């Protein structure tokens, strides 16, 4: 199977192009208390459809070690009290914030929530130093996505102002 990976970045917060608000009210909440069980739930609920498998073998200790890094944040979108998607930011490396994971649960795709959540996640990424005094303000926000992820993802990232800075294509085994 051929897998294409796109690396995208935004180098200035003014490059963010906000999405329109979705038709339903969405609350976006920071999980300030690290919860391995909750993070694993979000990872599995969103990523199962896209064969996200790299964190499935993680035990509680590995989740805790990662979630306790300064600048690692989980932001969850809720509709009427139900989690519908999430964004995971990793700002522990100086000068940058990676949008490590982002997505919606399958039943909420196509309702305008993804663009709204992505807008909010990028806004929060640029302001991560406001929440973590040990971190410097980022000089870029970046992410990667691949041809196995949602086909709407790449278009959403570009629509929000991200630009592709690298593309890689490789042959890989299909884990599904």
CATH of residue 101: 3.40.630.30
Q: How far apart are CA 92 and CA 90, in angstroms?
A: 6
Q: Considering the domain boundaries, does residue 116 fall inside one?
A: yes
Is residue 100 within 8 A of residue 89, CB to CB? The reply is yes
pLDDT of residue 2: 92
Domain count, the chain: 1
Q: Considering the domain boundaries, does residue 175 fall inside one?
A: no
pLDDT of residue 170: 94
Q: How far apart are CA 94 and CA 91, in angstroms?
A: 7
Average pLDDT taken over every residue of the chain:
95
Boundaries of domain holding 119: 2-166
Q: Considering the domain boundaries, does residue 174 fall inside one?
A: no
pLDDT of residue 100: 97
Q: Considering the domain boundaries, does residue 171 fall inside one?
A: no
pLDDT of residue 176: 53
Q: How far apart are CA 13 and CA 3, in angstroms?
A: 30
| Residue 14: burial class (beta carbons within 10 Å; 0-12, 13-18, 19+) | exposed
Q: Render each residue's pLDDT in the chain as its tens digit; 176 residues.
A: 899 999 999 999 999 999 999 999 999 999 999 999 999 999 999 999 998 999 999 999 999 999 999 999 999 999 999 999 999 999 999 899 999 999 999 999 999 999 999 999 999 999 999 999 999 999 999 999 999 988 889 999 999 999 999 999 999 876 55
Beta bridge partners of 2: 171
pLDDT of residue 175: 54
């Amino acid at each position: 199977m051929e897998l294409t990976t796109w690396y995208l970045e935004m180098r200035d917060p003014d490059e963010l192009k906000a999405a329109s608000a979705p038709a339903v009210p969405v609350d976006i909440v920071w999980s300030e208390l690290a919860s391995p069980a909750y993070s694993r739930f979000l990872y599995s609920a969103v990523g199962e459809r896209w064969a996200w498998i790299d964190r499935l073998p993680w035990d509680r200790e590995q989740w805790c070690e990662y979630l306790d890094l300064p600048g690692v944040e989980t932001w969850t979108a809720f509709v009427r009290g139900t989690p519908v998607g999430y964004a995971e930011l990793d700002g522990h490396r100086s000068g940058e914030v990676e949008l490590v994971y982002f997505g919606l649960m399958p039943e909420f795709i196509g309702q305008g929530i993804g663009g709204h959540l992505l807008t909010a996640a990028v806004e929060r990424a640029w302001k991560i130093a406001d929440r973590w005094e040990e971190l410097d303000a980022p000089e870029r926000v970046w992410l990667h996505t691949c041809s196995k992820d949602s086909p709407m993802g790449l278009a959403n990232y570009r629509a929000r102002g991200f630009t592709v800075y690298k593309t890689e294509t490789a042959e890989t085994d299909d884990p599904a």
